[in-house]
A = this chain, B = another copy of it.
Amino acid sequence: MEFIDRIQNHPLTQPSPTDFISLLQVLGSKGPMSNGLKKFIAAHLLPCKIEKGSYLLKPGEVCTHIFFIRSGILRGFLKDGGTETTTWITPENQMAAAISSFVFQAPAIEYVQAVENCELLGLSHADLEKIYLRFPSFNIVARKIYEQYYAEAENRALLTRLKNADKKYNHFLEQHAALANRIPIKYIASYLGIASETLSRLRSKKASKNRKKNA
């Protein structure tokens, strides 16, 4: 099944306006959103469901849509020889895409997979370009979102380059406390570039420390 079929899998009933509230809130927190702009976006969103474990995108496919995650968690990962390396983990109320593939409309090198059942709202690259032209103020919103996501991505990249496993996991907990127990430990370990066994040991140590503190 191709990317576009996969994301059109959701029953094509017209979603209700309340389905877009959280997306419009996120966008509205960044800059001015006229009613015309909100209507245009709502009319061009592609709602889709992806089941836990299944793939949204595979290497070689072009990521034609950017997604707002209404519920669930997506992750990006690389397969290199026999090894899987998780490169990003994104939960609900955030945007996700194989960003380089989306921006350059070029074949992706990564997989995008649902870690939990996901409800997504997709917006195509072509429609986004139309929005930039028809509603220039949306460039303010998008500039702020890209700025934030870029800065956060650099932080993530720095984190994975640290040598000390303990330090890495502490940083991860600072940034993603709520995710630590929703994601299989092997994904977190490969995201941090440490062995699953090392991470299990770290977690047990932390848990026993917390028990002592609370005793």
A interface residues, Cβ below 8 angstroms from B: 78, 80-81, 83, 85, 87, 99-100, 102-104, 109-110, 132, 136-137, 139-140, 142-143, 146-158, 160-164, 167, 193
Contact = CB atoms under 8 A, between A and B. Distances in A.
Contact of A150 (B99, B140, B162, B193): B99
Nearest to A83: B163
Contacts of A152: 100
5 contacts: A100-B154, A103-B148, A103-B151, A132-B140, A139-B143
A191 to B, nearest CB: 10
A157 B160 CA distance: 9
B162 A78 contact: yes
B146 A87 contact: no
Nearest to A168: B80
B99 A163 contact: no
